[in-house]
Amino acid sequence: MLGGIYGKILHIDLTSGETFIEEPGEDFYRLLVGGRAFVAYLLLRDLAPNTAPLSPENPLIIAPGILQGSNLPGAGRHGIGGKSPLTGAIGSSEVGGWWGHEFKKTGYDALVIRGKADRPVYLWINDGEVEVRSAEHLWGLETAVVEQHLHEELDDNKVRVAQIGPAGENLVLYAAIMHDINRAAGRNGLGALMGSKNLKAIAVRGRQNPKPVQRSRLTAVAKWFGENYKTFMGWAAEGIGQGTMEGVSVWSYLGALPTRNFSEPVFDEVEEISGDRIYELYLKERDTCQACPVNCKQVFEHVDEDPKRNVDPIYGGAEYEAVAAFGSNCGISDALATLKANELCNAYGLDTISAGMSIAFVMECFEKGILTAQDTGGIEFQYGDADAMLQAVELIAARQGFGDVMADGVARMSARFGPETEPFNLTIKGQELPLHEPRLKHGLGVGYALAPMGADHIVNVQDHYYISDSFNLQRVNAVLDVPLAPITNHGLYEEKLQLMHNEINWQHFQDCAVSCHHFAYAYDHLSEALSGVTGLEYSIQDVLDVGARAQTLSRLFNLREGFSADDDRLPDRLMKAFSSGPLADVEINVERFDWAKRRFFELMAWDPETGVPTDECLRDLELDGLLQDVELKR
């Protein structure tokens, strides 16, 4: 058997209470590795086509990768998936912290949960033993309270807890699954999938550990990282500063801080929500994930005369996405309100991106006269109104009043409110856009359109990382016969597509392994680590092929569920140039965008017009054997 695995996947049926253990063959692990590739394959194999996302048959799949449990820096993440309640496409979300490491120590490589309990329950997985316990006393509680209850109930403060908050219980379509209270598997509404099963939490405690075959190879990679992460160009170096919060000022300077639902080029009050200001006023400490020396996770605290404005450090702290989503994108300059909104999302289990974008969409509906206070239960949703924004978060999580409408997300609201809202329906495949501006980074815009989960900034390229002869560009050039010169942020052309093909496969691989995207590892670092763990020899191309398999399997699932190349689009607003600001007159050319899609399909060995994976693609990626009994629509 390969190193780094147990060869066991735990399946639990909450309807019947039955469990069984699947023991996949070696090719399953060798080719897929874990994470997103596991999720996509198991969905194709086991879920009937066109199953409703909130039906008991839709599995919730938790899939650490082979690197999980190895103590390699950056490998403290795990993947979660299912058919997305928000989009109907593949749902796939990754999360850091400590839960995935602890789950891997229970003796399983993955967890598949089907069915629906007849009452609220939680799972207790302790060194391989599985119990389904009542969670009726936990239902309706916020995440910090639930974790405290479970630590007391199980008499062990080292138990790690993955859970939904009230938003998941109420089937908010962008509900998150929270881990360690403040780490969110936020995107795609997988918290609603968990809630539809009446599953409140999964508590884990383990004392096993799969052994790597050649520990020395892992140690060498970890040693390199420890010696270099503070100096090389990449996010890990930024992480020792303000982490993602540095983006607020950087993107504002470049005219790329989303403002008022991506409608304006500059947020004049950016200094009020900058990382410098928030760190000065509210930073308490730094936190980290398992086996990570970077400590990029900021923890904020504030005690106020008005308890509604207290910020509890137990819920961690806002990242860039939350501050931009609830701040500039809603026209709000109240930094404390953005931190409070993030706290509420962690307490209730909400995706900060989709929540903030949904509120900004409603604010624009108000601005254009499409909605009035009569439609919203008396709330005036005006840009800049922090109180209305915070009230909206509460209503969304509870599905109360107009919050019940907002809980369905922007795409469904746009369909409900009418075609005049379509120009500012900023979703792709039904998922709200992250807070990174494609008018600055055109490769990112194409990546948004192509991401199988809907708009996603993680399995993507950030063009600015390659505009100099950086570590990131050197990583790509290591596998190319003809090295690339630094690219530009703007424009879509052959060299950029070659870079995107390699880097997006690399990002998908990291979501299979599973490794943190913010670590500036080179391709050969993780091929070496994977070889050391498994005992197999993974070349750089082998590693990139794992990412290509994850992309291809995800594509096949989406095609089967009715998606097509027509869904690989970027909203028109984001193709058009601003008339002022640093990005004035910079547009994404429609013809070049369409060319870039076709070229990416070609590089993936998919049909250039339809994006359907070819027989040659499946053979070259060795997927034809795994898929021989799987129903595909191609």
* Cα–Cα distance measured from residue 474 to residue 93, given in angstroms and rounded to the nearest whole number: 28
> Which are the contacts of 361, defined by CB distance < 8 A and separation ≥ 6?
261, 410, 413, 414, 421, 424, 425, 426
- Whose CA is closest to 428, among 567, 298, 565? 567
pLDDT exceeding 70 applies to what percent of the chain?
98
What is the pTM (predicted TM-score) of this model? 0.97
pLDDT in tens, 403-416: 999 999 999 999 99
Q: Convert the pLDDT of each residue in 90-148 to its tens digit.
A: 999 999 999 999 999 999 999 999 999 999 999 999 999 999 999 999 999 999 999 99
Query: From residue 438, how far is each of 172, 310, 470, 506 by CA, in Å?
Result: 28, 35, 21, 20
Residue in the structure block whose two tokens are 């599953």 = 199
Task: Work out the angle at residue 466's Cα, subtended by the Cα atoms of residues 582 and 532, and round it to the nearest 5 degrees.
Answer: 145
> Residue 428 has which token pair?
């792709």
- Going across the sheet that includes 199-205, the strands are 129-134, 121-126, 199-205, 160-163, 177-179, 183-185
pLDDT computed for residue 239 by the predictor: 56
Chain mean pLDDT for the chain:
95
Per-residue pLDDT of 24-58, as tens digits, reads 999 999 999 999 999 999 999 999 999 999 999 99
DSSP 17: -
Task: Please determine, for residue 633, whether its predicted confidence score (pLDDT) is greater than 80.
Answer: no
pLDDT at position 326: 98
Q: How far apart are CA 465 and CA 236, in angstroms?
A: 13
Closest-CA residue to 212 (of 221, 203, 204)? 221
Residue 237: per-residue pLDDT: 46
Both tokens of 156, joined, read 């062990």
Q: So what's the pLDDT on residue 359?
A: 98
**Is the domain covering 442-620 a CATH 1.10.940.10 domain?**
no
Domain definitions of the chain by residue range = 9-205, 244-432, 442-620
Q: Which two tokens stand for residue 139?
A: 């239902």
Please give the C-alpha separations between residue 66 and each of 33, 210, 397, 428, 512, in angstroms, as whole numbers.
Answer: 6, 9, 35, 31, 8
Distance (Å, whole) CA 282 – CA 245: 13
Is there a contact between 67 and 75 (Cβ–Cβ < 8 Å)? yes
Task: Look at residue 232 in the predicted model and tell me its pLDDT.
Answer: 62
The whole-number average pLDDT for the span 415-437 is 98
CB of 549 closer than 8 Å to CB of 37: yes
Give 176's pLDDT tier (boundaries 50, 70, 90).
very high
pLDDT level of residue 238 (50, 70, 90 thresholds): low
State residue 233's pLDDT score.
Answer: 45
* pLDDT above 80 (res 234): no
Please report the pLDDT score of residue 296 as a whole number: 86
- In terms of Cα–Cα distance, which of 43, 80, 145, 88 is closest to 514? 80
Instruction: Give the whole-angstrom CA distance, residue 485 versus residue 267.
Output: 33
Burial of 531 (0-12, 13-18, 19+ CB in 10 A): buried
pLDDT of residue 293: 86
Q: Which positions ≥6 away from 148 have C-beta within 8 Å?
A: none
DSSP at 364: H
Range of weakest confidence among 126-130, 352-356, 520-524: 520-524
pLDDT at position 240 is 64
The rounded radius of gyration (Å) of the Cα atoms in the chain is 23
* Alpha helices by DSSP H, 298-437: 320-326, 335-348, 352-367, 386-398, 403-406, 410-417
| Residues 6+ away with beta carbon under 8 Å from 566 | none
- For 618-622, the CB contacts below 8 A with 24+ separation are 618/552, 621/31, 621/545, 621/548, 621/549, 621/552, 622/27, 622/31
How large is the angle between the packed helices 386-398 and 352-367, nearest 10 degrees? 120
- Cβ–Cβ under 8 Å, residues 236 and 553: no
Using the predicted structure, report yes or no on whether residue 62 has a pLDDT greater than 70.
yes
Architecture of domain 244-432: Orthogonal Bundle (1.10)
- What share of the chain has pLDDT > 90, as a percent? 91
Give the model's pLDDT for residue 305.
Answer: 87
Average pLDDT over residues 366-384: 97
Output phi, psi for 136, to 5 deg.
Answer: -60, -30
Please tell me whether residue 242 adopts helix, strand or coil conformation: coil
Residue 209: DSSP 8-state: -
Please tell me the predicted confidence (pLDDT) of residue 372. Answer: 97
CA atoms within 13 A on the CB side of 363: 28
Look at the domain 9-205 and name its fold.
Aldehyde Ferredoxin Oxidoreductase;  A, domain 1 (3.60.9)
Helices (H), 254-334: 275-282, 320-326
Place of tokens 């219980």: 169
pLDDT at 475 exceeding the cut of 80 = yes
Please determine, for residue 557, whether its predicted confidence score (pLDDT) is greater than 80.
Answer: yes
Domain pair 9-205 / 244-432, same fold: no
Instruction: Grade residue 470 by pLDDT with cuts at 50, 70 and 90.
Output: confident
Of 288-297, 381-390, 444-453, the least confident: 288-297
Q: How far apart are CA 200 and CA 122, in angstroms?
A: 5
Cis amide bond preceding 514, omega within 30: yes
Residue 52, by phi and psi: left (phi above 0), alpha (psi -120 to 50) or beta? Answer: beta
Which residues are registered as beta bridge partners of 330?
none
Please name the residues in contact with 129: beta carbons below 8 A apart, sequence gap of 6 or more: none
pLDDT-based confidence at residue 236 (cuts at 50, 70, 90): very low
Residue whose C-alpha is closest to residue 306's, from 285, 277, 336: 336
- Cβ neighbours of residue 202 under 8 Å, at least 6 residues apart? 62, 111, 122, 123, 125, 161, 162, 163
Q: Residue type at 1?
A: M
